[in-house]
Chain A
Amino acid sequence: MEVFFQQVVSGLATGGIYGSVALALVMIYQATDVVNYAQGEMAMFSTYIAWTLLDKGVPYWWAFVLTLVISFAGGVLLERIVIRPVENKPILTIVIVCIGLLVILNSMAGWIYSYIQKPFPSPFPPKPIMLGTVVFGAHDLGAIGVTLVVLAFLYAFFRFTTLGLAMRAAAQNPVSSRLCGIRVGWMLAIGWGLASMVGAVAGMMVAPIVFLDPNMMAGILIYAFASATLGGFTSPGGAVLGGLIVGVIENLVGTYVHFIGTELKLTVALALILVVLVFKPSGLFGRAAVHRV
């Protein structure tokens, strides 16, 4: 039983990370109707900015806040400069531009900071917390806590502020929103900014675990996609929960189903997601898309 609880706990820890990146993906999807394939690399680049600040001797939480501000500005700029020219083009054209952005960011980070792994500090104490015989890493708990705080902020922002309402409207029905006086283009830009910020938080929480290098997000982005799909692309809470579920399933399958072991655990997690999708085509918590005929 102890092994079981320990595996669930460490599954939740990795799952929290998948969930935070999934949250960023879902954010951009809700605010702009585009899945941003460059999300992981944007988060990675933000983390490098944080690393540069820390390297210059800025205290951790100051560096944290500064990184968020820079990331927000960077996200807005990327939308204005790179995405805007293809805003009304076919969806696949936008997808390819995002893939272009992905390889550029990855390559630039490698060029500027080199491909050597760098350690990244955690703001939480290194001492593990014992509960009975189950060990909780302080950083893992902290990371999940930070993700939940971000989720709460986003929920409040979209639910209770005029700007949040305007952003939701702009994504859902751009034409009518424009007629109501909402500046749809800028709403999209702010959506990118926010998602870039959420990504930065995720990046800074991931980096102490996997070390900082230009490819650190590639694997995580894949799990984040899976989590967002499982939870439903229209539900931020679902994305976080989806992340936790994927993390736990992956760990338990790897531990208990012996012929699968660690080699096929990704495959099994993905197969489970496919099964869920067949029965719930919009994910566990997503709304089914409604089409006008």
Chain B
Amino acid sequence: MTPRARAVGVAAALAVALALPLFVSNFRLFQFTQVAVYAIALLGLNVLTGYNGQISLGHGAFYALGAYTTAIMIDKWDVPYPLTIVTAGLLCLVVGFLFGIPALRLEGLYLALATFALALAIPQILKYFEHWTGGSQGIVLSKPNAPWGLRLSPDQWLYFFTLAVLVALFALARNLLMGRTGRAIVAIRDNAIAAQAMGVNTALYKSLTFGVSAAYTGVAGGLSAIVIAFVAPDAFNVFLSITFLTGIVIGGLASISGAIFGALFIQFVPNWAQDISKAAPWAIYGIFLIGFMYVMPFGIAGAVRLALARLGRRGTAARA
């Protein structure tokens, strides 16, 4: 795809996203805000798993950490919510980096299992520190109103707010991945030994990638706490982490746009499955999962790339 075509594509997607609140109800808009939140989390996981090749089944833990950081700061200390999201991101950056150091010794399956343990432990730990987290009851927040006297409903304002965070973080990730750092990250995935021989500090880059990935997921978690206005331990169970992994594989590994496709899938397909069969909705969801993987083994982004390449080739052939 030429840079110009790509720019047109991004502009069109943004235009649709900005116009969306004009056409859909507050509830639908809330769902799309969720999509944006998931997309940020998936991008974070994709940086780690797709670009750097470290499989994590524990990103739900960082999502939970972000969500609770935000919720506790708002609930206990009345901190303005944009600030809490920055804090959530920074905290997850540090925790992710620190977790990334022992994780350096683990590969593939064992890393997946170690992170899986993290995801499993989270609901129990959250319930244990009841004084801070409110135990199983969780913490109830109130949705913020639009600032500067804007005439938007809270749902609409949160949609635009989340969208702004999403655009900023996606631009940041793109710059990170397209440059020298990004090449180092990908080189480690493709051949760690060769990368090291070329002078890449493998250990530093791998732990840093873990930190950045966790930070993205933490920001998403913080946003989710504000958007849903409620956090409770059981929302952050193992299935959340598995859903994230599903999202990046369905969306497309090592692809920035894949995060958005994946987020749309994990938000809407379970609902469709419910509509198709009330008796066994998860069976339908499973069939969707397997079907997608048969038809598009490289995810939706991979399929789109392939389709565009075919169309492009036909276009040039016709002109020649």
**CB-nearest residue of chain B to A282:** B110
Given A92-B55, A96-B250, A281-B105, are A274 and B114 also a contact pair (CB < 8 Å)?
yes
Q: Does B289 contact A (CB under 8 A)?
A: yes
Count residues of chain A with CB under 8 A from any CB of chain B: 44
Name the prevailing secondary structure of the B interface residues.
helix
Q: Which range contains the number of B residues in contact with the other chain? A: 35 or more
Which one of A92, A95, A222, A226 has the greatest number of beta carbons of chain B within 10 Å? A92
Given A95-B245, A100-B290, A264-B125, are A289 and B280 also a contact pair (CB < 8 Å)?
no
Contact of B293 among A35, A97, A226, A273 (CB under 8 A): A97
Contact of B280 among A86, A95, A102, A111 (CB under 8 A): A111
Query: Could you show 28 A-B contacts with beta carbons less than 8 Å apart?
Result: A82-B290, A85-B294, A90-B298, A92-B249, A93-B297, A93-B298, A96-B246, A96-B293, A99-B286, A100-B287, A100-B288, A102-B286, A104-B287, A106-B282, A107-B286, A108-B283, A222-B238, A225-B113, A226-B117, A233-B110, A263-B124, A263-B127, A264-B125, A264-B128, A278-B106, A281-B106, A282-B110, A291-B193
Residues of A with C-beta under 8 A to B127: 263
Residues of A with C-beta under 8 A to B281: 107
Contact of A97 among B124, B253, B290 (CB under 8 A): B290
Q: Does A151 contact B (CB under 8 A)?
A: no
Q: Given A92-B55, A96-B249, 16 other A-B contacts at CB below 8 A?
A: A35-B109, A85-B294, A86-B294, A92-B249, A93-B297, A103-B282, A103-B283, A103-B286, A107-B280, A107-B286, A226-B113, A229-B114, A266-B121, A266-B124, A267-B121, A281-B107
**CB-nearest residue of chain B to A259:** B128
Q: Are B250 and A281 in contact (CB under 8 A)?
A: no
Residues of A with C-beta under 8 A to B193: 291, 293
Those of A102-140 within 8 Å (CB) of chain B: 102-104, 106-108, 110-111
Q: Are B283 and A107 in contact (CB under 8 A)?
A: yes
**CB-nearest residue of chain A to B105:** A281
Q: Does B230 contact A (CB under 8 A)?
A: no
Q: Does B285 contact A (CB under 8 A)?
A: yes
**CB-nearest residue of chain A to B296:** A93
Q: Does B279 contact A (CB under 8 A)?
A: yes
Q: What 9 A-B pairs come out closest when comparing CB atoms?
A: A100-B289, A104-B286, A107-B283, A107-B282, A270-B117, A103-B286, A100-B290, A100-B286, A267-B121
Those of B260-281 within 8 Å (CB) of chain A: 279-281
Total contacts A to B, CB within 8 angstroms? 123
Given A99-B242, A111-B279, A277-B106, are A267 and B289 also a contact pair (CB < 8 Å)?
no
Q: Are A103 and B253 in contact (CB under 8 A)?
A: no
User: How distant is the Cα of A85 from the Cα of B238 in the complex, in angstroms?
Assistant: 28
Those of A228-243 within 8 Å (CB) of chain B: 229, 233
- Report A's interface with B, CB cutoff 8 A: 29, 35, 82, 85-86, 89-90, 92-93, 95-97, 99-104, 106-108, 110-111, 222, 225-226, 229, 233, 263-264, 266-267, 270-271, 273-274, 277-278, 281-283, 289, 291, 293
Those of B281-314 within 8 Å (CB) of chain A: 281-283, 285-290, 293-294, 297-298
Q: Are A270 and B289 in contact (CB under 8 A)?
A: no
Residues of A with C-beta under 8 A to B283: 103-104, 107-108, 111
Distance in angstroms from B275 CB to nearest chain A CB is 15
Residues of B with C-beta under 8 A to A101: 286, 290
Q: Are A229 and B102 in contact (CB under 8 A)?
A: no
Residues of B with C-beta under 8 A to A225: 113, 116
User: How distant is the Cα of A153 from the Cα of B171 in the complex, in angstroms?
Assistant: 57
Q: Does B146 contact A (CB under 8 A)?
A: no
Q: Are B107 and A96 in contact (CB under 8 A)?
A: no
Q: Are A93 and B293 in contact (CB under 8 A)?
A: yes
**CB-nearest residue of chain B to A110:** B280
Task: Annotate B120-134 by CB proximity to A: 1 below 8 A, 0 otherwise.
Answer: 110011011000000
Contact of B120 among A222, A277, A291 (CB under 8 A): A222
User: How distant is the Cα of A96 from the Cα of B265 in the complex, in angstroms?
Assistant: 14
Distance in angstroms from B258 CB to nearest chain A CB is 12
Residues of B with C-beta under 8 A to A281: 105-107, 110
Given A95-B249, A277-B114, are A103 and B289 also a contact pair (CB < 8 Å)?
yes
